[in-house]
Chains A and B, each alone.
Chain A
Amino acid sequence: MENIIDNRNIYNLNNNINTLNNDKLILHDENSSLLIIVIDLQQLIQFDSDNDITTIMKNIIIFINAHIAYSSSNKVCCIINDDKHGVQYLYPNEDEDDDEDQENQSILNEDMYQGFKKVDESILRKLEKIVAEHKKEASEAKNTSNSKKKRSSLAGVISCGLTYIHRILKASISIRARMLVITGETLNSNIIQSHQYIPIMNCIFTAMKLKCPIDVLKINDINLNSDSTKSNSFLQQATDATSGIYLEINTTNGMIQYLTTIFYLNTLITSTTIDNKLKINNSVDKLEIEITNNGDDNADEGEEVLVTSHNDILLKPTTSQVDFRTSCFLTGKTVAIGFVCNVCLVVLSYIPTSLKDCPCCGSKFDIKTLKKLKYWQLQQSSTNKRGFIKKIAKTNNPNGKNGTAAGSSASKPIEL
């Protein structure tokens, strides 16, 4: 905060939004950012040769270098998840004494900038090992043709990333963190996603608390029909809740373009406050950073050009609709009006006539209220005038058998 106020004195912008150049001056101060790149290798490694992991990694490496190049205090962390090792950090290195790979030095140009080289080498070396292992295994596995279903470990790797962010945020004050999840989808994927709802939700809440936006880049395999692709609704919700960007691409050709235009710029803008006079709506926690005008006379003029969010400067790719709906426990249909068990919070779209206890947790329901709801359901199906049902019910039976919830509880103490 102090830093911002200092900048204010130095770069007194004449309330001019268009001078984005001036912002860069501020950015070069201690506004460093931490970029966590989560690569869902579990999915990406199954890609075919056109789109395979090496082309993807080439692009990611450039992106990482660009991030490091922007400011000397920027930090990078790259984590992957794969079938064999589970979660693995590609950078920072967990075991520095990797002397056995000395001969591998040649993968990178000797003259490369040391800052890039350190990061890139570590990532590439480890990745090479993993890919080699995987290829070996895949060739062996082809003979046995196993189609075993596997659990996706994406939630685990995101959790790891969040703990890392927590660690870094604790260590330094001015740093901001963000996470880029790169995942994919192949044609015959044998990876189950459905169990991930609760863990990913938990990750979202944590990211909100840490004020860390989550961006998602999903790469669809070429073989995949455009109709059959399903957007990953969990990750979509994650980006929506943390005000990140969700993007799906169908080819890795020119992937660097996407990365630099969409995700790279987002880093700059979300990770900086442009000017203290501009009110940045950091919608991660709906916290509006308002800096009181230190007796500045121009304050009134300054407030005229409030930027409510970074959307006003750059248009983010918006996802048309985020799927927030829940699905019914029994039928799997999406629910608009549902019934929720007050013990386990399971959602039902309708009440089966034979229902007596919760299908999920088994707790026995109160018969009276169940009757009431069933009655409501009956009426609902018979009438189409949705909004008036309640009123009709009320006038028909003023004694409260099917009245409002409030009425029934008020009468309850007297029964006792």
Chain B
Amino acid sequence: MSDNIKIELSDDEDIILSNKNQKKHKIAAIDDEEESDRVLSKSEKLKNLSKQVDEERKLQMDSENNVKKENDETKINIKRERSGSDNSNLSDVSSDEDEDLELKNAIKKRKLDEKEAAKKAELDAKKKKDEEDEKNKQQSGYSWEDKIQRPWDIVGTTPNEDAQDQQLLNKILHTRNQKQAVNTTPLQRGIIRSMIIIIDMSQTMAEKDYRPSRFQNVLNNTIQFIQEFFNMNPISQLGVVSLKDGLAQVISPLNGSPKFHVDALLQLKHERVEPRGFASLQNGLELARGMLMGVSTHCTKEVVLLYGSLSSTDPGNIMDTVTVLKEQEVRVAIIGLVAQVNICEKISRITNMSDNSYYNVAMNEQHFSELLMERIKPLPLAEGSEFTLIKMGFPTRIIESTPSFCSCHSKLNRGGYYCPSCNSKVCNLPIECPSCELMLILSTHLARSYHHLIPLKNYQEVPVEEIEKGLIPKYASCFSCKRDFPLLKRSKSNSLLSTMRYRCVDCEKDFCMECDDLIHGLLHNCPGCESKVVL
């Protein structure tokens, strides 16, 4: 039910974004415990949106009938009531973001729905309502709120096949929209990063709501994260810290080699270390702060905290630590596993220039790994942060006929790189020269980071109308891989569900969904734009 309204409310994303911003400012300005304020902003949002709904309705009313309108209005009322009660919930802030995702998902669905509604009249509207109720039940975020899922029952039992198609499409679109939500405006980002990952290893992590257990799940995801992190940020450093028995311990110190950290984490797995005791936020943050002390000024200092506990046993006042962290420009991002904790929200807000988006609570395993992977992208630079030139060496590779010792591992090998300033041999790059502390890199390492600086524009989905009007051919294939575009039709009405084509804004070539994923996820250059001969 609420979904349906959100759809209408959100047809203009800008309004929502501005609303969200307003909200953020409010929360930043006033203490976040003032629930009443949030209620206000929420009702404002609703008012705005309902106005918008009305306007939109007027435009489209020609084809739609009055019954539908009444329906919608009642739904809005219901939504109001719902939102009123929602506000008392603890996890409201985090669920807002989820809502936004849902909203965006809903936009597309709504567009599709409206086309349908224009053709079929009231009868279908009723049907749809039921379907969407079902969908709402299925889409309600947290895994523990879900019904028992029996995917084998879904096949063939759904009475309306249209609904099935719709659901399938929605799922695809949903994942796409999440990707689309990534901002592509070029930002100044801190490319050279130093990050401490703090892993909660308290007894709460032994819970089995994440499979196989919270701790194992976090460990697996962290290993994956570390590898991907160094792929994308080759000239960065990383360290891992554990919280256990009220203490914080270094698992692996700040280092630029992924293997080093992965080995340390695998060691934990091998030894079957069990989570135990309580977690101490303050100890963890203080240790991370200490590890980041020695980092040079041109690096960003980041802490990623994976926190499964709902409490913290601290030796002193944690707010003191937080203020020191803020002074030293350490930015803390927290991913909660269970529920929202006020202190975590405060920490991440204060250390991130009152930006709320660095505290997230994962809903399930999938969501958790998504949240973690978001941290791979370098953070935008804070205002007033320093820009510097960094001295770096670009050594040439040399292959020798006689083996010699490298200065980094003291191992015999036949080739390597010579530091241009002190002529000591190292076997792998990037590395800080062991004798003269010069940062040694290859130009390819710099090239790895370019796509963060110049992100590729998102492709836009081609609307169904273009095929219906005959602007583009019905049967066509992807520009780059020549896969034929699938024709997704509704089984009954035979109308197209989606064009499944995604168009580059600049070169106006159409790509299939999988190419779009590859191009934006891995390749980072548009085949169409690159093959233009004349600019």
A residues near B, CB below 8 A?
Answer: 42, 81, 83, 86-87, 89, 92, 94, 148, 150-151, 153, 155-157, 159-160, 162-164, 166-167, 170, 197-199, 201-206, 209, 237, 241, 321-322, 324-326, 335-345, 347-348, 351, 357-358, 361, 363-366, 369-370, 373, 376, 386-387, 390, 404-406, 408-410, 412-413, 416
A167-B514, A387-B423 known; A160 vs B448 contact (CB < 8 Å): no
**Across the interface, do B391 and A376 meet the contact criterion of CB distance under 8 Å?**
yes
Q: Which 5 A-B pairs have the closest CB atoms?
A: A156-B531, A156-B530, A405-B296, A336-B420, A159-B527
A342-B298, A404-B437, A416-B327 known; A336 vs B530 contact (CB < 8 Å): no
Q: State the interface size on chain B (CB cutoff 8 A).
A: 70
**Across the interface, do B480 and A406 meet the contact criterion of CB distance under 8 Å?**
no
**Across the interface, do A387 and B422 meet the contact criterion of CB distance under 8 Å?**
yes
Please tell me if B297 contacts chain A, counting CB pairs below 8 Å.
yes
Secondary structure at the B interface, as helix, strand, loop or mixed, is: loop
A175 CB to nearest chain B CB (Å) = 15
**Across the interface, do A150 and B328 meet the contact criterion of CB distance under 8 Å?**
no
A4 CB to nearest chain B CB (Å) = 25
**Across the interface, do A83 and B533 meet the contact criterion of CB distance under 8 Å?**
yes
Please tell me if B14 contacts chain A, counting CB pairs below 8 Å.
no
Q: Collect the chain A residues with CB atoms within 8 Å of residue B297's CB.
A: 366, 369, 405, 408-409, 412
Q: Collect the chain B residues with CB atoms within 8 Å of residue A92's CB.
A: 482
| Listed A/B pairs (27) with beta-carbon separation below 8 Å | A92-B482, A94-B477, A151-B534, A157-B531, A159-B525, A159-B531, A163-B478, A163-B480, A163-B515, A166-B518, A167-B483, A167-B515, A202-B524, A203-B525, A324-B442, A336-B420, A337-B392, A337-B421, A338-B392, A339-B391, A342-B298, A345-B450, A405-B296, A406-B294, A409-B297, A413-B293, A416-B327
Can you name the residue of chain B whose Cβ is closest to the Cβ of A413?
A: B328
Q: Which of B96-104, B185-193, B407-415 has 4 or more CB atoms under 8 Å from chain A?
A: B185-193
B304 CB to nearest chain A CB (Å) = 21
**Across the interface, do A386 and B394 meet the contact criterion of CB distance under 8 Å?**
no
**Across the interface, do B481 and A166 meet the contact criterion of CB distance under 8 Å?**
yes
12 more contacts with CB within 8 A, not counting A324-B396, A410-B294, are A94-B477, A157-B527, A163-B478, A164-B480, A167-B514, A241-B444, A337-B392, A339-B389, A339-B390, A373-B391, A387-B435, A405-B296
Query: B478-535: which residues lie under 8 A (CB-CB) from chain A?
Result: 478-483, 514-515, 518-519, 522-535
Can you name the residue of chain A whose Cβ is closest to the Cβ of B435?
A: A387
**Across the interface, do A410 and B191 meet the contact criterion of CB distance under 8 Å?**
no
Please tell me if B85 contacts chain A, counting CB pairs below 8 Å.
no
Q: How far is the CA of A415 from the CA of B391 in the complex (A)?
A: 24
Query: B171-193: which residues lie under 8 A (CB-CB) from chain A?
Result: 188-192
Please tell me if B397 contacts chain A, counting CB pairs below 8 Å.
yes
Q: How far is the CA of A408 from the CA of B386 in the complex (A)?
A: 14
**Across the interface, do B396 and A164 meet the contact criterion of CB distance under 8 Å?**
no
A110 CB to nearest chain B CB (Å) = 29
Q: Collect the chain A residues with CB atoms within 8 Å of residue B534's CB.
A: 148, 150-151
**Across the interface, do A325 and B296 meet the contact criterion of CB distance under 8 Å?**
no
Can you name the residue of chain B whose Cβ is closest to the Cβ of A198?
A: B450
Q: How far is the CA of A336 from the CA of B297 in the complex (A)?
A: 23
Q: How far is the CA of A370 from the CA of B189 in the complex (A)?
A: 20
Q: How far is the CA of A267 from the CA of B151 in the complex (A)?
A: 44
Q: How far is the CA of A92 from the CA of B478 in the complex (A)?
A: 13
A87 in complex: contacting residue of B295, B388, B531, CB < 8 Å: B531
